[in-house]
Amino acid sequence: MWFDSWGDLGRILAVGAAAYLTLVVVLRLSGKRTLAKLNAFDLVVTVALGSTLATILLSSDVSWAEGATALGLLALLQFVVASVTARWPAARAAATARPTLLLRDGAALPEALRQQRMTLDEVRQAVRATGSGDLSSIAAVVLETDGSLSVIPREKAGDRSALEGVREAEG
């Protein structure tokens, strides 16, 4: 339980270093998007890469070549999904959620909050995090596709073109 063999530790050191370098190369080749926090697929890839690296390190049943192939496959699949969703709006709609307006001109949108399972307290917290203490000074709070809340102060709302494509914003 506490110690099996020096050979196992040596395997972890050798395969771990090789797997780590492989992951760095895969991430550099696949671009910044692979670790971006843009949607659910990006999150899944990030978690899967970490899980795969851990499996390569700790399971003697998985060779470095198998692990490197798995890392490459995950990066390739993420690249394919990102490419397809960037080119075809129908694929984007199927793969990612639209951002949702939760607060408009200082007033909460109760139906949007209910649909997104958010509370007004969570919206207030996001507003406070921007340094604002007055909801009426806020033009919009948007629940983004990555789960974060974007707060747009009234003085920075401009023509509101940034809200194009946001659910509830058109209404």
Q: What is the pLDDT of residues 83-99, one digit of tens each?
A: 998 899 888 878 777 89
Same domain, 43 and 106: no
- 105-164 tens-digit pLDDT: 999 999 999 999 999 999 999 999 999 999 999 999 999 988 899 999 999 999 999 999
Same domain, 116 and 83: no
* Cα–Cα distance, 128 to 151 (Å, whole number): 10
How many other C-beta atoms lie within 10 A of the C-beta of residue 146? 15
Same domain, 26 and 82: yes
Same domain, 155 and 132: yes
Same domain, 80 and 21: yes
* Cα–Cα distance, 152 to 145 (Å, whole number): 16
- Tell me which residue range forms the domain holding 87: 6-94
Q: From 94, 117, 138, give the residue that closes a domain.
A: 94
For the chain, give me the number of helices (H) and strands (E)? Answer: 6, 4
Report which DSSP code applies to 38: S
* Cα–Cα distance, 29 to 44 (Å, whole number): 19
Q: From 74, 94, 114, give the residue that closes a domain.
A: 94
Q: Number of structural domains, the chain?
A: 2
Same domain, 81 and 107: no
Please, are residues 169 and 109 in contact by the beta-carbon 8 Å criterion?
Answer: no
Q: Which CATH number belongs to the domain containing residue 131 in this structure?
A: 3.30.240.20
- 108-119 tens-digit pLDDT: 999 999 999 999
Instruction: Tell me if 170 is assigned to some domain.
Output: no
Instruction: Tell me if 51 is assigned to some domain.
Output: yes
Same domain, 118 and 83: no
Instruction: Tell me if 36 is assigned to some domain.
Output: yes
Residue 171 reports pLDDT greater than 60? no
Stated pTM of the model: 0.71
* Cα–Cα distance, 68 to 56 (Å, whole number): 9
Average pLDDT score, the chain:
90
Instruction: Tell me if 71 is assigned to some domain.
Output: yes
* Cα–Cα distance, 81 to 45 (Å, whole number): 11
Q: Give the closest residue to 147 by CA, choosing from 118, 125, 109.
A: 118
Instruction: Tell me if 12 is assigned to some domain.
Output: yes
Same domain, 105 and 87: no
